[in-house]
Structure 1
Amino acid sequence: MSTRKFSTTRDILRFEGKDKAAYWRRFAMLLTLSVIIATMGMLRDSGAVVIAAMLVAPLMTPILGVAAAMVMGWLGRAFNLALIVCGAAILCVLLAWLLVYVADVPRGILIPDQVLARTDPGTEDLIVALAAGVAGAYVQINRSEASLLPGAAIGVSLVPPLSASGILLYFGEPGEAYEAGLLFATNLGAIILSACAVYIVYAARSMVFSKGRRKLNFTASVTVTLAFLALVVLQLGKSTYNRYLETRTEAQVAQAIRDWADPVSVEVIRIDVNAKRKQADIWLIVDLPIEAAYKVSSIAGLLPENLRETPLVDVLQDQLGPGYLVVVRFQNRIGAQIILGTDTVQQAPDVEEISEEN
């Protein structure tokens, strides 16, 4: 295979050739900068800054190098590059943890959404990584399409999940840190597999389908990659199913609460169900009758009669089942409807009715 036609070969040799020291320095510098940008961007909850970290990250090159070495039958190079990627990933997690530790971020605060966004990988992330791997490998072969590389870098998330994992370890959330690491593993395996397919189609068909040791090496390495991806897909499948189950349960609980409260207006602010931990967090606002504004009584005494007949905990147990830890945060407010210019004061209409009219 010619170096001109298969330019990733040069990228592999940059870790080995005469200029390897300069390439290592450049790789380390860009990786460090990428982790710093990603970590600070997540702490600031800024998606734009996190995208900048994706563009700076140099991990795509050695990952594509693993795929190229596999296709060429260079198992030694493929293994060395895989070690480089794994070592860099571990260092990224440690550096992110160190940055948050040095910044002395309070552990009691809410975890930013940009961090939590990397803790819920699913099969759709695998599809995105496969497509991004195809794009990255295509750009490596066709240097004339280099303008597409930023899009491929943004499409696949490599450094941000590692930074998120370090941040979550600092916050004492090892389970969530594992999920962020799973997202990186998903991207890693998918990129290698899809890049192999692109290299075979565009440049290395004769190498792969020829007889001899190279074909055997390629088959062995692809088998290992597929086995790795199979383990990842099993985890992703469980995560995707849990997410589907949680979303469906949240919708059912919200509807059950509305049915329980009817005709009293109850606004469901937020429902978070964690099927794995069997926990639920429910935020409600209950509209009290206008007469309650003129009464001095306990909250229980102010509630409409039908809300006192059937306790909310019974409704939640019917939907979630026994054993769930449920946190209910509710707030009462006075709802009134006033016709301006008159003395007419009535009970406010249901929140759902107002939403439908708008």
Structure 2
Amino acid sequence: MRERLLFEGAERSRKLSAYWTLLLLAGAIASAGVVADSTATVIGAMIVAPLMTPILGIVLSVTVGDGRNLARCIALAVTGAASVILVGYLFGLLLEFPVTAATSSEVAGRVNPRMIDLIAAIATGAVGAFALVRSDVSDTLPGVAIAISLVPPLAVVGLTLEAGAGDQSLGALLLFLTNVGAILLTGIVVMGLYRVRAAALEAAVEPPMGRRAAITMIVLFAVAVAVPLAASTARIVNERLTSASVTEVADDWADGAGWEVASVVSRQGMFVVRALGPEPAPDPDELRAELDAAGLSDVDVELQLVPETRVDLEGSG
């Protein structure tokens, strides 16, 4: 595990050059995939990216009490993440249009993390740690790299930051931190269950550092990530429930005038109702009254009425 995860020994320079080369290329691939809205390209970046190596290196260093490698892996993980964000930002500068959730489904899928993302990350992080302590299942690591998704959220942070969508940048950063916290927490647990520290103590040349403070920090980090995730999940659930209620009321209102509701979209706290139909248009005040009667008086609605003109063109035959 030390050979696979830690940047030390005679091969240190070689490992570092491979890490930075692959990471920067993965950042470019992920940014290009997000810009092109190509899921296949983004998956390719996940497989290439080596960012999980120093993160699992943090887990191993904490487990065996290796303070020097702990500091080294933290530095590599932090500077590596910052480098991918910079690559994404530079990609954004080359574009003539902003890359945001409105223009890319790859962005939209990464700017609103929920508790389910944390649960998935915990399971995936456990698989990654399990694959390390069990050499017979190491072939699962490419799948772990795809599932844990470290580099694409960072590319989204850079792209949306350049586009001026700061709230979306924070959402993508939260997703990245969620995945990191899950890897650290589950990695500590799995390595503890497999008594990795005991094996390290038997082979230790010098006394290891204490690990209680480091484990406490990892737990607190995971908890700190879970709090905004819980809030985001509650907001998304409330938004969807409110959207369903607004849609139901708007459908009844539009049907009465021979119109139909084409879409109901939530946009920055406002629900945009788009309705289509023939003239005359239904009365907007009636919709507001029906929303208030349905207990939605505190919901802001923007109504877009699109009149339709229908003309029958009879054939000569």
The question of a shared fold, defined as TM-score above 0.5 by the shorter chain, is answered with yes
Q: Deviation at 1:130?
A: 0.8
Q: Check the 8 A contact 1:71/1:207 in 2, yes or no.
A: no
- Structure 2's unaligned 5+ residue stretches are 313-317
Provide Cα deviations, 1:175-211, integer angstroms capped at 9, x if missing partner. Answer: 110110000000001101101111111242636999x
Equivalent residue for 2:305, pick from 300, 314, 330:
330
Would the aligned equivalents of 1:120 and 1:239 in 2 still touch at CA under 8 Å?
Answer: yes
Correspondence for 2:8 among 13, 16, 26: 16
Asked whether the 8 Å contact 2:254–2:260 carries over to 1, the reply is no
Corresponding position of 2:49: 57
Return the alpha-carbon distance in structure 1 between the equivalents of residues 61 and 22 of structure 2.
23
User: Paired residue for 1:135, among 127, 145, 148?
Assistant: 127
> Which structure 2 residues correspond to residues 15-54 of structure 1 after superposition, within 5 A?
15-54=7-46
Q: Is the radius of gyration larger for structure 1 or structure 2?
A: 1
Structure 1 residue 79: deviation in Å? 2.9
Tell me if the contact between 1:200 and 1:208 (Cα under 8 Å) persists in the aligned partners: no
| 2: CA distance, partners of 1:141 / 1:322 | 54
1:224-235 → structure 2 map (5 Å cutoff)? 224-235=217-228
Give, as a single letter, the amino acid of the residue that structure 2 aligns with 1:89: A
Deviation (angstroms), 1:320: 4.6
Q: CA deviation at 1:336?
A: 10
Cα distance, 1:263 vs structure 2? 3.4
Distance in structure 2 (CA, Å) of the matches to 1:284 and 1:31: 47
- Give the structure 1 partner of residue 181 of structure 2: 189
> Secondary structure of the equivalent of 1:121?
coil
Change (3 A) 1:321 1:16: farther
- In the superposition, the TM-score normalised over structure 2's length comes to 0.88
Q: Which residue of 1 is the match for residue 95 of structure 2?
A: 104
> 2: CA distance between counterparts of 1:259 and 1:18?
73
The one-letter code matched in structure 1 to 2:244 is: A
Q: Counterparts in 2 of 1:205-216, with a 5 A limit?
A: 206=198, 214=208
One-letter identity of the residue aligned with 1:31: L
- Segments of structure 1 that go 5 or more residues without pairing to the other structure are 1-7, 289-298, 338-358
Root-mean-square deviation (Å): 2.7
What is the TM-score when the length of structure 1 is the normalising length? 0.78
- 1:279 corresponds, among 263, 270, 284, to 270
Match of residue 140 from structure 2: 148
Name 1:348's counterpart in structure 2: none
How far apart, CA to CA, are the structure 2 residues paired with 1:316 and 1:37?
Answer: 47
Give the equivalent residue in structure 2 for 1:244.
237
Provide the C-alpha distance between the structure 2 equivalents of 1:262 and 1:124, rounded to a whole number of angstroms: 37
Partner of residue 315, structure 2: none
SS at match of 1:269: strand
74-83 or 59-68, which moves further after superposition?
Answer: 74-83
Aligned partners of 2:284 and 2:303 also within 8 Å: no
Identity of aligned residues (%): 29
User: What secondary structure is seen at the aligned counterpart in 2 of 1:332?
Assistant: strand
What is the distance in 2 between the residues matched to 1:108 and 1:40?
A: 11
Q: Trace 1:171-190 onto structure 2 (pairs within 5 A).
A: 171-190=163-182
| Change in CA separation of 1:259 and 1:220 when aligned onto 2, cut-off 3 Å | same
In the alignment, what sits opposite 1:217? 210
The residue type equivalent to 1:33 in the other structure is: L
Q: Given the superposition, is the C-alpha separation of residues 139 and 328 from structure 1 closer, same or farther in structure 2, using an over 3 Å criterion?
A: same
Shift of 1:107: 3.1
| Residue identity matched to 1:285 | L
- Deviation of 1:221 (Å): 1.0
C-alpha contact 2:88 2:158 (8 A) present in aligned 1? yes
Question: Kindly tell me: are residues 175 and 95 of structure 1, through their superposed partners in 2, closer, same or farther at Cα, counting changes over 3 Å?
Answer: same
Distance in 1, matches of 2:99 and 2:178, equals: 30
1:86–1:312 Cα change, 3 Å:
same
Quick check: 1:118 aligned with 2:110? yes
Residue 168 of structure 1 corresponds to 160
* Paired AA for residue 248 in structure 2: Q
